[in-house]
Amino acid sequence: MSSDSAAVPDPPRLLRDWQYYLREQLRIVSDQPEQEARWLLAAALGRDTAALVRDGLTPISSGERARIASLLAHRRAGVPLAYCLGEWSFYGMALQVAPDVLIPRPDTEVLVTCTLEGLPERARVLDLGTGSGAIALAIAVARPHAEIWAVERSPAALRIARMNGVTRAPQVSWLQGDWYAPLDADLRFDRIVANPPYLREDDSHLPDLRHEPREALVAGPSGLECLGHIIAGASSHLLPQGVLLLEHGADQGAAVRTLFDGAGFSAVQTRHDLAGRARVTLGVGA
C-alpha cells in the first residue's frame, strides 16, 4: 500500500485504509502520527492494535465510522491523546484517565521509585492529591502488603482513582477532602508522598495544559503554596523516622529544601530525573 494519502479514499471503507487516512489527518497535531493512528483506531473500535493488522480487510460500519470521526475531531482540536484514548500508561499500568484528572507523567515515576527505595513490605503510605490514583496504585502494586491511603479533593477525580484501584489494589483507602483533613487524627505513616499542584498562576506553560484541570496544576501566586502546606503538616502525620517525598518543578529544588529545613526535617535531599532536572525533594520528619 502506498503511503501517499491522495490514494486513500475519503472516507475509507476498510479498516486498513482508515489507518492511512488517520495518519495523514493527525500530522497537524502529532509528531508520531502513525502510532497515534493505530492507538486511536484501536480505541474507537474497542480492539487491540494487533487486530488492526489481522482484520485489515474488514469493512468499517457506520457506527464505527462515527466513533472514529469523533475521536479524530477531538484529537485534531488539540485534546491530549490520553483523554482521547481514555487510558494512559504509568509505571507499567494502563490507568483510566479523563479530563477530571491530570494525565500521569513519566516525571512522576521518579517519585514512585524514590518512595519504593527501602520501603518495608508492610509500610503505611499516604498519597496526597492522588488524581488518577497513579502514585498510590504504583506503590500498592509493588508492595501488596502495604497499607495505603490516598486523599483527593476532587470527587470526580477520586471516582476515577477508585475505578483504577478496583482490580489492581483493593487494599487502598480512598478519602475525599483537603490534604490531611479527612485523616483520623491518630493515623501515622512511614511515607507521605505527593505530586501537588506547583505551577504559579502566571506560568507560561498553562495555555499548553488548558485541557487538564487547573486545580491539579496551579498552586497560587508563588507556586509553592501546596508544597508549603503539605510540608508544614507532615510531621504530625509521620511515624518516627517517617519520610516525606514531594515532586516539584525543576526550578523549585532550593526553595523546597528551605521549606523542609524550616519545618525541622533532617537528611533533606533533592533527586533528579534522567535529564538531570531536580524533581523530588525528601526528608526525614522532625
Nearest-approach distance from CB 273 to ligand SAM, in angstroms: 14
**Out of 19, 25, 115, 130, the residue judged to bind ligand SAM by CB under 6 A:** 130
Residue whose CB is less far from ligand SAM, 25 or 132:
132
| Selected range binding ligand SAM among 7-15, 38-46, 67-75, 130-138, rule: CB under 6 A | 130-138
Annotated ligand binding at 197? The verdict is: yes
| Selected range binding ligand SAM among 5-13, 54-62, 195-203, 271-279, rule: CB under 6 A | 195-203
152 binds ligand SAM (CB under 6 A): yes
Task: Tally the C-alpha atoms within 13 A of residue 40's C-alpha that lie toward its C-beta.
Answer: 32
Give the separation between CA 16 and CA 228, rounded to whole angstroms. 53
Nearest-approach distance from CB 181 to ligand SAM, in angstroms: 8
12 binds ligand SAM (CB under 6 A): no
- Cα→Cα distances 166→64, 140, 160, 161, 171, Å: 29, 12, 10, 9, 9
Give the separation between CA 63 and CA 268, rounded to whole angstroms. 57
Assigned C-alpha cell, 62: 457506520
159 binds ligand SAM (CB under 6 A): no
Q: Give the list of residues 6+ apart from residue 119 with CB closer than 8 angstroms, or none.
A: 125, 139, 143, 146, 190, 191
DSSP-assigned beta bridge partners for residue 175:
151
DSSP-assigned beta bridge partners for residue 152:
176
91 binds ligand SAM (CB under 6 A): no
Q: Are 158 and 174 in contact (CB under 8 A)?
A: yes
164 binds ligand SAM (CB under 6 A): no
Annotated ligand binding at 164? The verdict is: no
Place of cell 514531594: 246
Nearest-approach distance from CB 77 to ligand SAM, in angstroms: 23
Give the separation between CA 24 and CA 28, rounded to whole angstroms. 8
Nearest-approach distance from CB 52 to ligand SAM, in angstroms: 29
196 binds ligand SAM (CB under 6 A): yes
What residues form the annotated binding site for substrate?
195-198
Please report, as ranges, the residues that interact with ligand SAM according to CB under 6 A: 102, 104, 108, 129-132, 134-135, 151-154, 157, 178-179, 195-197, 215-216
What residues form the annotated binding site?
129-133, 152, 179, 195-198
